[in-house]
Amino acid sequence: MTEVFKLPFILSGGLGMGLLFPIFASMKTFQEIVQQTEFSREDLTTLLLAEREERQLLLQQAQSVKLQTIGNKVFFRGLVEFSNICAKDCLYCGIRKSNDHVVRYEASDEEILDACRFAWENRFGSVVLQSGELSSPVFVERISRLLQKIKELSNGELGITLSCGEQNLETYRQWFASGAHRYLLRIESSNPDLYLKLHPENDFHSHQRRLQALKDLRTAGYQVGTGVMIGLPFQTIDDLASDLLFFKAIDVDMVGMGPYIEHEETPLYEFHSQLKTRQQRFDLALKMVATLRLLMPDINIAAATALQAIDPAGREKALTIGANIIMPNLTPTKYRKDYQLYEDKPCLDEDAELCRNCLEARIDLAGCEIGYGEWGDSKHFRK
Ligand code: 5AD
Ligand code: FES
């Protein structure tokens, strides 16, 4: 409503003062909106559209809410991208099944366990095992076995997050019983119509199925993380406001979201000329992180790697204004070039040791402190 009655209308003098005053009085300033603790869809849209001084105000407020609520600690999740073999064909993803240019790999148990041992010895607190989506019994059993071995090698100390796509409730339960306690499954977009434009139109790629998987993860007992891509073709600001409301509605514990980055070998590339510039997508992603921090002050928010593909200091910028999780890449270096979900993915050559040293310095620069040896569960979940 207030959108329609902005200043130009008021200045036009179309109505008597008696009518004007209540309308004028109900309009909130940007400063008032950022200081709220509850946000309407309209408020969220206003925040996401903020430019210049207003944008600065939003980022500052998010930083201060973060510091007051969860402090300045950043938690590491060592990321092991253990296989790029995927049964799915998401239209945006570089490792989709139909991309014949990808050299497919599967890291050995030993390679995966070595990466996890590195995480444990370097007091990372937890690891994320991520792969393309498979659901064969062999795959399911292999993950269970690996989970148990990771628990063994770390005296049960290393926290384990899985990011292996949609599975049935039984599989989620089996993996939980084997030692995983967090699961990342991005909704990609909360708008079913937009989701349909990003995925092949069949039951295997349905929005409904994705929603059910998120529910099943809760039922199985996981801390659930989800997220979206920002700056997708056909995506509107209203879609992004809906995404934020969706995170709140499902009461999520963790969110990872980053800019969409086109990949030439995917069908969605066809629309690349319609995209915002990469810098605009980056700026919007930062505003999403900041706005989410205001909306859900005590959840874990990851500084997505895709931010760094656009701006070398992208992840640190996100940490400064609201994020508190970072995922150093522990994938064996020889596989990294084959796990390119999007173009210009950073850290393709660094080994784990280099990544760690470089991150320590960067996090220090962002004014944050590393929570070594801690699982770093969200305050939200602990509540
Ligand atoms: N650009 C940005 N993010 C992408 N992802 C997949 N493809 C792209 C892309 N082209 C993200 C998805 C997925 C996560 C593992 O990576 O959101 O859930
Ligand atoms: Fe692999 Fe989407 S292409 S899960």
Q: What is the pLDDT along the chain (383 residues), one digit of tens a residue?
A: 333 333 333 233 334 343 444 455 568 999 999 999 999 999 999 999 999 999 999 999 999 999 999 999 999 999 999 999 999 999 999 999 999 999 999 999 999 999 999 999 999 999 999 999 999 999 999 999 999 999 999 999 999 999 999 999 999 999 999 999 999 999 999 999 999 999 999 999 999 999 999 999 999 999 999 999 999 999 999 999 999 999 999 999 999 999 999 999 999 999 999 999 999 999 999 999 999 999 999 999 999 999 999 999 999 999 999 999 999 999 999 999 999 999 888 878 777 777 777 788 888 888 899 998 889 988 888 77
Site to substitute for ligand 1 among 130, 229, 235, 344, most atoms within 8 A of C-beta: 229
- The CA 260 to ligand 1 mean position distance, Å, reads 7
The model's pLDDT over 86-112, given as tens digits with 9 standing for 90+, comes to 999 999 999 999 999 999 999 999 999
Question: In this predicted structure, what is the pLDDT of residue 347?
Answer: 77
Return the CATH number of the domain spanning residue range 37-382.
3.20.20.70
Q: Which residues line ligand 2 (CB under 6 A)?
A: 86, 88-90, 93, 95-96, 132-133, 165
Question: In this predicted structure, what is the pLDDT of residue 352?
Answer: 73
Site to substitute for ligand 2 among 83, 93, 205, 268, most atoms within 8 A of C-beta: 93
Site to substitute for ligand 1 among 305, 341, 342, most atoms within 8 A of C-beta: 341
Task: Extract the runs of DSSP E, i.e. beta strands, from 317-358.
Answer: 325-326
Q: Which are the contacts of 257, defined by CB distance < 8 A and separation ≥ 6?
A: 186, 227, 228, 229, 230, 243, 285, 288, 289, 292, 302, 304
Percent of the chain scoring above 90 in pLDDT? 84
Dist CA 326 CA 124 (whole Å): 11
pTM of the model as a whole: 0.92
Which tokens sit at 204?
Answer: 């295997």
DSSP 8-state secondary structure symbol assigned to residue 228? B
Q: Are residues 124 and 156 in contact, defined by beta-carbon separation less than 8 angstroms?
A: no
Is the minimum distance from the CB of 282 to ligand 1 under 6 angstroms? no
Pick the atom of ligand 2 nearest to 165's CA.
4
The model's pLDDT over 317-354, given as tens digits with 9 standing for 90+, comes to 999 999 999 999 999 999 999 999 998 888 787 777 77
Ligand nearest to the CA of 90: 2
The model's pLDDT over 12-54, given as tens digits with 9 standing for 90+, comes to 333 434 344 445 556 899 999 999 999 999 999 999 999 999 9
